[in-house]
Amino acid sequence: MSELSGKGCEIIVPFEERLPVRDIEKSIIKKYRKNLWSKFMKAIRDYKLVEEGDKIAVAISGGKDSILMAKMFQELKKHGQVNFDVEFIAMDPGYHANIRQLLIDNCEYLNIPIHLFDSRIFEIADEIAKDYPCYMCARMRRGALYSKAEELGCNKLALGHHYDDVIETTMLNLLCAGKF
- Please indicate whether residue 130 or residue 83 has the higher confidence score (pLDDT): 83
Residue 2 within any structural domain of the chain? no
Nearest-angstrom CA–CA distance, 103 and 96: 11
Query: Does 168 have pLDDT greater than 70?
Result: no
Instruction: Give me the domain span that covers residue 145.
Output: 18-177
Model confidence over 34-79: pLDDT tens digits? Answer: 999 999 999 999 999 999 999 999 999 998 999 999 999 999 999 9
Residue 10 within any structural domain of the chain? no
Whichever domain contains 124, its CATH number is: 3.40.50.620
Residue 127 within any structural domain of the chain? yes
Residue 5 within any structural domain of the chain? no
- Identify the sign of the CA torsion 90, 94, 96, 101: positive
Cβ contact 122:91 at 8 Å: no
pLDDT band (50, 70, 90) for residue 180 = very low
Residue 104 within any structural domain of the chain? yes
Residue 13 within any structural domain of the chain? no
Please give the tally of structural domains in the chain: 1
Residue 111 within any structural domain of the chain? yes
Residue 165 within any structural domain of the chain? yes
Model confidence over 80-95: pLDDT tens digits? Answer: 999 999 999 999 988 8
Percent of residues in the chain assigned helix, strand, coil, to nearest 5:
55, 10, 35
